Amino acid sequence: MHLVSPTNKRKLDIIVVGSGLAGAAAAATLGELGYNVKCFCFQDSPRRAHSIAAQGGINAAKNYRNDGDSVYRLFYDTIKGGDYRAREGNVYRLAEVSVQIIDQCVAQGVPFAREYGGLLDTRSFGGTQVSRTFYARGQTGQQVLLGAYSALSRQINTGAVKMYNRHEMLDVVTIDGKARGIIARNVESGEIERHGGHAVVLATGGYGNVFFLSTNAMGSNVTAAWKAYRKGALFGNPCFTQIHPTCIPVSGHFQSKLTLMSESLRNDGRVWVPKKKEDCGKNPLDIPEQDRDYYLERRYPAFGNLVPRDVASRAAKVVCDEGRGVGKSGYAVYLDFADAIKRLGENVIRERYGNLFDMYERITAENPYKAPMRIYPAVHYTMGGLWVDYELSTNVPGLYALGEANFSDHGANRLGASALMQGLADGYFVLPVTIGEYLSHEIRSGKIDTNQAAFAEAEKSVRDTLNQFINIKGNKTVDEFHLALGKIMWEKCGMSRNAKGLAEAQSEIRALREEFYKNVFVPGSTDEFNPELEKAGRVADFLELGELMVIDALNRNESCGGHFREEYQMADGEALRQDEYQYVSAWQYNGMNKAPTLHKEELIFENLEVKTRNYAEWVKTSSPVLVLGMGLLVIKS
């Protein structure tokens, strides 16, 4: 791998879009290395990025507990948790750098939880049998993001990074096949700006908001990734969506978003529903022990309440579909802390989860110390994203994707506390090194001139699209279209999917998209602060992405991880994988309303045996001597 010398780094400009864990970490580290960095976020400050809402923790193979953890074990758990749909090389590297991430965060002053001896505390998370999750109360995402934000702020202060708050990227500019800059809109003034760079790094998060209701922030969107896709970058595994098992259930049609209750609660909370349907309306405290079905402990004795998220979510759906769900809607299960409070005392539980219990009470007006919480699965994370190689480069030279915006490490299901790990791994330790290889060939390129035709064309297309939204002057709001799209996606491309429903969803999405361009209403003008206009652009992209997700789900005739096709299940309802789908589906854009082209990257497991995931029994894991290459990156059409 080539390096770029310090004197040459000064001549190179890098654009980083997004300021969450991956984006802030990358921008800060690239600034430290001596590159000229421009960093963009649509919020009023880089500290607002939705990484901040992650609660439970961050995994690292430190093995401080001496409980049998190792880099290999984290690698194994992640590949298995992802149902053998992730690339070995990337995941192994992730497990390796996980150790350095904790060191870096602590050095920055991130106040992780500690034991009385002064050393770091850890806890357990789903899909693992070790305790490797570092945490800062229920605000781990906030604390590690503020760590990255502080590193970024330091680089802004030195002048290495120029920060553009309240700016939204609306297109990637490519010249001779290379990414050379972006078009961004200053959302306060409405000004359209051209920014040139020798490389463009997208760290713009996931697209769970395609479902309208999700645990994502209101502003989380797919726009940056989608513009890249339209400019030739491949989109990997778009249908792989994570439905998180422990969220506060929907309470009404006005609901704007869903709130997650950290998975860490499953360490001490027991999940159950009544055995008999007729008990569902009763006060849970009046239902005796023998009439309760602790269905996760019953079905998965080895992992119990700590099965991976996809397994826990589907199990909740099964009992609710059987008519044994609780709450007003019948779509909720109990998460009960009575045993833990009896065993450990209310104070210990308050210490561990106090802020989560308070949040629950604030939203539902019920006290979870006295009665069990009610929870139900909700869209939380998207494993799919822009296809990247081992160097986190998309197939467009000079265009990189990090964090949730890429598809790389979690296969078909992400384990809890691994999103923070991946975002920071990509941002601090992977991209700043791998991007040098590409940039070493750019040292003679000189400043990127934004007066080139490609910039003018991209700017014009952005302006035309914005004007189009304003000029439609229809009768439905952007949110009404978004809500309609979300309903289609949740019902037909959600926790379980089938060929018939997916085919219907595709035509319904197309019809909705057509209606959007005829009947959406966006007030005001393009040259002012106009939140409805911003939303219109995002929803327009979701209306295209939704169709691609459906196409991908329809193509993947198997069940794996979060992708559950009803036609492919075992007798006991578990996901049934099909060997011929042991590939990454990487889709190439061919134009709106045209079928995209599927490229397949075969997944080759050289170091792990591909097995049926089994969380009901204990499986011995041996740690062989690893022969790990860079992963096989050949794309086969």
Partner 1 sequence: MKLTLKIWRQKNRQAAGKFETYSLDNVTEDMSFLEMMDILNLQLLHDKRDAVAFDHDCREGICGMCSMYINGRAHGPENATTTCQLHMRSFKDGDTIVIEPWRAAAFPIIKDLVVDRSAFDRIVQAGGYVSVSTGSAVDANAIPIDKTTADKAMDAAECIGCGACVASCKNSSAMLFLSAKVSHFALLPQGQAERKRRVLDMMRTHDEAGFGSCTNTGACEAECPKSISISNIARLNREYLLAALSNDTM
Active site residues: 309
Angle in degrees, CA 532, 534, 539, rounded to 5? 90
Instruction: Tell me how long the chain is.
Output: 637
Q: CB-wise, 41 or 225, nearer to partner 1?
A: 41
Q: Binding partner 1 by CB under 8 A: which of 465, 532, 569, 616?
A: 532
Q: CB-wise, 141 or 562, nearer to partner 1?
A: 141
**Cα–Cα distances in angstroms (integers) from residue 528 to residues 112, 192, 327, 332, 523, in the given order:** 42, 11, 44, 43, 11
Note whether 133 and 142 are within 8 A (CB). no
CA distance 89 to 255: 41
Residue 160 CB, shortest distance to partner 1, in Å, is 11
CA distance 485 to 211: 7
CA distance 313 to 413: 12
Residues 568-627 that bind partner 1 (CB under 8 A): none
Q: Binding partner 1 by CB under 8 A: which of 36, 98, 104, 559?
A: 104
Q: Binding partner 1 by CB under 8 A: which of 24, 25, 179, 383?
A: 25
50 binds partner 1 (CB under 8 A): yes
Residues 387-446 that bind partner 1 (CB under 8 A): 428-429, 432
Q: Binding partner 1 by CB under 8 A: which of 257, 350, 510, 600?
A: 257
Q: CB-wise, 45 or 597, nearer to partner 1?
A: 45
Residues 471-510 that bind partner 1 (CB under 8 A): 475, 477, 479-480
Note whether 274 and 333 are within 8 A (CB). no
Of 151-159, 277-285, 448-456, 613-621: span binding partner 1 (CB under 8 A): 151-159
Residues 6+ apart with CB under 8 A from 274: 280, 282, 287, 291, 292, 293, 324, 326
Q: What residues are paired with 173 via a beta bridge? A: 181
Note whether 532 and 522 are within 8 A (CB). yes
449 binds partner 1 (CB under 8 A): no
Q: Binding partner 1 by CB under 8 A: which of 32, 96, 491, 504?
A: 32
Residue 420 CB, shortest distance to partner 1, in Å, is 14
Of 147-155, 452-460, 550-558, 563-571: span binding partner 1 (CB under 8 A): 147-155
Q: CB-wise, 99 or 632, nearer to partner 1?
A: 99
CA atoms within a 13 Å half-sphere pointing along the CA-CB vector of 364: 25
Residues 186-205 that bind partner 1 (CB under 8 A): 188
Q: CB-wise, 261 or 603, nearer to partner 1?
A: 261
365 binds partner 1 (CB under 8 A): yes
Q: Binding partner 1 by CB under 8 A: which of 27, 74, 233, 260?
A: 260
Residue 134 CB, shortest distance to partner 1, in Å, is 8
103 binds partner 1 (CB under 8 A): yes
Q: Which of 153, 67, 77, 99 is nearest to 421 (CA)?
A: 99
Residues 236-255 that bind partner 1 (CB under 8 A): 251-252, 254-255
Of 204-212, 502-510, 528-536, 572-580: span binding partner 1 (CB under 8 A): 528-536
Q: Binding partner 1 by CB under 8 A: which of 16, 102, 307, 405?
A: 102
Taking the alpha carbons of 164, 167, 169, 170 in that order, is the dihedral positive or negative? negative
Taking the alpha carbons of 514, 590, 556, 128 in that order, is the dihedral positive or negative? negative
Helices (H) then strands (E): counts for the chain: 16, 21
Helix-, strand-, coil-residue percentages of the chain, each rounded to 5: 40, 15, 40
Q: Which of 15, 86, 27, 23 is nearest to 404 (CA)?
A: 23
Q: CB-wise, 54 or 273, nearer to partner 1?
A: 54
Residues 105-144 that bind partner 1 (CB under 8 A): 105-109, 111-120, 136-137, 139, 141-143
Residue 589 CB, shortest distance to partner 1, in Å, is 29
